Amino acid sequence: MADTSDFRNGLIIRFRNELYTVVEFQHVKPGKGGAFVRSMLKNLKTGKVIDNTFRAGEGITIIKVERKKFQYLYRDGKTLVCMDNETYDQIYVDENLFGNGVGYLKESMEVEILSEGDNILSVEIPIFVNLKVIETEPGFKGDTATGAVKPAKLETGVSINVPLFVNVDDVLKVDTRIGGYVERVKL
C-alpha cells in the first residue's frame, strides 16, 4: 500500500470516498512531535480545493488514471460527443464533466479525458483558446487608456468582458479557467 512519501503534484488519490488530485504538498518535520505532510487537494468532481494534514507514513489509496486525447465533435443535448484520436471511437460525455469551460469549446477542438477504466473522471480543455467575436458594440480609436470594458459575444455563444477597442470579427485569446480576455490575436 502507498503512503504519504509517494505524494507528488498531480497524483490522484481516494480520500474520504472521493477522488482528489494533489495540487501541492510539503513534508514538515518539526523539532517537537512527529513529522507530517501538509497538502492541498482538489476534488475531481466538484473542483473544490481543501487543505489537509496527513501523518508522515499514513496510508493512502492511489488511483490509476488514464489520460487520453480526444477530439470534441458536437453537442447532443446535455452530452458532448468526443472521438478518440487513435481508434476513432466516439464516446458520449456529460457536459458537467467539462466544468465551466464547456462554453469555450469549438468543434474539432482537442480535449484530454481522465478515466479510471470505463469511468470518466474529468475532462480537461485547453487553457487558452482563440475565438472570434460575433457581436459587440463598436470600438473607437483611442479607447484604450481607461481600462473600461464592454460585453462581447463569442462564436461559441458565450459572452465575456473585453476592452473597448475590440470589434466584431476580431479573434481573441481567451483564458478558459477564468473566462477572461487575454489579448487580440493577429491571424
Please write the tens of the pLDDT for every residue from 88-137: 999 999 888 887 788 888 888 999 988 888 888 888 889 899 999 998 88
Please list the ranges in the chain whose pLDDT falls under 50: none
Is 151:160 a contact under the CB 8 Å cutoff? yes
Domain that holds residue 168: 128-185
Q: Is 133 exposed, middle or buried (0-12, 13-18, 19+ CB in 10 A)?
A: buried
Q: List all residues 6 or more positions away from 23 whose beta carbon is below 8 Å from its beta carbon.
A: 9, 39, 40, 41, 42, 49
Last residue of a domain, one of 76, 106, 124: 124
Strand partners, 40: 24, 51
Grid coordinates 492511489 are at which residue? 62
Last residue of a domain, one of 11, 34, 62: 62
**CATH code of the domain in which 86 resides:** 2.40.50.140
- Count of domains for the chain: 3
73 and 112 fall within a common domain: yes
170 and 132 fall within a common domain: yes
The per-residue pLDDT for 164 is 84
What is the Cα–Cα distance from 41 to 21, expressed in whole angstroms?
Answer: 6
71 and 45 fall within a common domain: no
What is the Cα–Cα distance from 28 to 127, expressed in whole angstroms?
Answer: 33
